[in-house]
Every structure is written in structure tokens, then in C-alpha cells.
Amino acid sequence: CTGLTAFAPDARTFVALQFLARAFAIAESLLAVVVIAEEFDPAVRGWGIGALGAIEASGAGFAALLFALVGSIENGWRGLYLVGLVPLLLIANWRRTLPETERFTAYQRQQMEKGQPEHALQPVLYLLRMYPRRIVAVTTVVFMSAMMEAAAVFFGPKYLQDVHGWTPQAVGFLTVFGGAFAVIGNTFAGWLSDRVGRKRVTILFLLSEVVFALAYYNVSTSLVVPLWILMIFALLGSHVMIAAYGAELFPTSYRSTAAGVRTSVWALGGSVGLVLESFLYNTLGSHWSAISLLATFAVLAPLVVIVTFPETSGRSLEEIAPER
């Protein structure tokens, strides 16, 4: 779908192909988290998920650099999407050589012995039945965080231009080079959680995300650059922690299903956050005040972690979430 986007004849085709491409890319990402959670040693599981997040973010930065090179060329953007065809060479090989995870293979063998085929919605129904408290806790944290993040990130460049007088070129420069520092948040969060505990680091990054978002939208020009970097740093780190918890809190039979539910709720929370921002803007008369108010609601996310999340760092997946 990414490669076909390069040949899109009109805007409608472009949107349709990108909708599909991003849907598959999101599924690809959440399944990668599941594989890392199932295959990595418990002592470095958080670091592995963080490294994946850093590589993803670096890919986005690489795309931004490529766009800077081809943006001024007529139809140069089409070449940008052709780059997406390169992974097909790897996939052609992986299709034959990449094995399933050992945990899934064992689970699949059990299902075949039982002779119990599953319909498409059965894993979702069983997930809600077997682990209702955990899935509600995880999705609540995801929803509250996404409500703030969607508006805070979406309006970030507009804030720099409208309030601080930045040019689009300056915003792009900050996004690429400032983002390079912020990417460290992925691996740092994962590494730190393997050492001091998943729960403590999750609370730290969720709270930091709220604090830095509030500060970014309410400070003077001299501090806006470091605060933007810190806000993205905390945001990426919190994503790693929630992804880790989303994989660890559920058994092999529901792990990918739970990841899919979590991602769907994240998209829903982001959409609701943007809608609420528009209503708050009409009431408060300022995007920045609206985003600040949404950020205060996001404080509920770390409170849910404090009350409901167990500690998972260093523990085996079977100990955290045994099959029922």
C-alpha cells in the first residue's frame, strides 16, 4: 500500500491507500511488541520494547529528512513512498525462515489437541471474561493519555508559529534534530524499568508527560525548545511502558488480541481528545488553554497505574498472566 501510494492518481486514492498502509503498519508494530515480550529474557524485556520504539521513531525522522531532500522537486514526494517497497525484499525471506514464537507454538499445539476452533471474536470475548480488571485498567490509562497526547502533539507546531513566531522551516528543524534527542526516551524508559520496576517508571513518565505538556503551552520563548523535547521524551517513554504492560498482563492466548484492543482504544481516545479540544476552544477562546485543561484530566492515568497495575519487571510471562 505504501508503494502504491507513489502512483496515486488523485487525493481520494492517496487517502485510501494511506489509510490501509497505516492500519497494517500499526498492526505490524503491535505484533512486534508481542514477539519481543515472548522471546526476550525477562531481565531485558523492557529494554527490547524500548529499542523497538526508538527504531520506529528513527524511521519517522529518516522520512522527514528524505522529505526535506525531495520536497522541492515536482512529484518528489512519490519517490518517498517508493522507499516503502524495500522491506518487501526482507519479507520474501522472512516468510520462509522467521519462526513463530515458542509460546504461540505451544499454545497452538494445545488448541489442536483439544480440537476447539476459535471464531474471530472469541479471543476478545474470553479476554473480557478472564481478565476484565486488567483490560479495563490498561484501556483506561491508554484512553486518558491519548486524549491529551493527540491535541498536545497536533497543535505543537501551530503553537510555535502562532505564539512564538516560528517559521515552518524552524519547526521542521526542531522536529528532526530535537526529536533525535527525544527518541532516547524509548530506550531509557525500557532500560530503567528493567532495573527499578515497570510500575515506578510508568508512573514517572505519565506524570512527566502531563507536567511538560502543561509547561510547554504556558511558558516563555526561552524555554519552549527544551520543554518540547522533554514533552516528546516523556510521551515516547510512556508509550513504551504501556506497550510493555499491554503485552505482559495477558497470557499467550490473548496477548495479541489485548494489543489490538489497546491500539483501538488509543485511536478512539485521540479522536475524542481532538473533539473535546474543539469544544473547549469555543468555550475558553484559546487552543493552549483547552490543551492545558485536557492535560489536567490526564493525571488520572498515573493514578490508575498506582491503584491497579502489578509489578511485572523481571517476572516470567507465565507468572504474571497464567493461562486460564
242, 170, 158: which is closest to 203 by C-alpha?
242
Residue 221 DSSP class: G
Mean pLDDT of 109-138: 80
pLDDT of residue 117: 56
Residue located via cell numbers 498506582: 306
Q: Is the separation of the CB atoms in 38 and 103 below 8 Å?
A: yes
Closest to 217 (Cα-Cα) out of 206, 229, 227: 227
SS3 category, 112: helix
pLDDT for 114 equals 66
pLDDT at position 289 is 93
> pLDDT value at position 17?
95
Per-residue pLDDT band at 118 (split at 50, 70, 90): low
Quickly tell me which residue has 522507499 as its cell: 83
Query: Does the pLDDT value for residue 277 go beyond 90?
Result: yes
Could you please report the per-residue DSSP string of 2-57?
Answer: HHHHTT--SHHHHHHHHHHHHHHHHHHHHHHHHHHHHHS-GGGHHHHHHHHHHHHH
Rounded CA gap, 103 and 252, in Å? Answer: 7
pLDDT per position as a tens digit, 130-171: 899 999 999 999 999 999 999 999 999 899 989 888 887 788
Determine if residue 157 is left, alpha or beta; phi over 0 gives left, psi from -120 to 50 gives alpha, anything else beta: alpha
pLDDT at 83 over 70: yes
CB 305 within 8 A of CB 141: yes
Query: Which pLDDT belongs to residue 211?
Result: 96
**308 vs 65, which has greater pLDDT?**
308
pLDDT digits (tens, 9 = 90+) for 47-60: 999 999 898 888 87
**Most confident range, picked from 62-71, 107-116, 226-235:** 226-235
Higher pLDDT, 16 or 69: 16
Neighbouring CB atoms inside 10 A of 98's CB total 10
DSSP class of 299: T
What Rg value do the Cα atoms of the chain yield, rounded? 21
Q: Please give the Cα distance from 240 to 267 (Å, whole number).
A: 16
Place 201 in a pLDDT band, splitting at 50, 70 and 90. very high
Supply the pLDDT for residue 246. 93
Give the per-residue pLDDT at 20: 95
Does residue 119 have a pLDDT over 70?
Answer: no
The model's pTM is 0.86
Report the share of the chain in percent with pLDDT over 90: 60
Nearest to 154 by CA among 217, 205, 208: 217
Instruction: Examine the pLDDT at 31 and tell me if it is beyond 80.
Output: yes
In this structure, the number of other CB atoms found within 10 A of the CB of residue 30 comes to: 20
Burial class (CB in 10 A: 0-12, 13-18, 19+), 42: middle
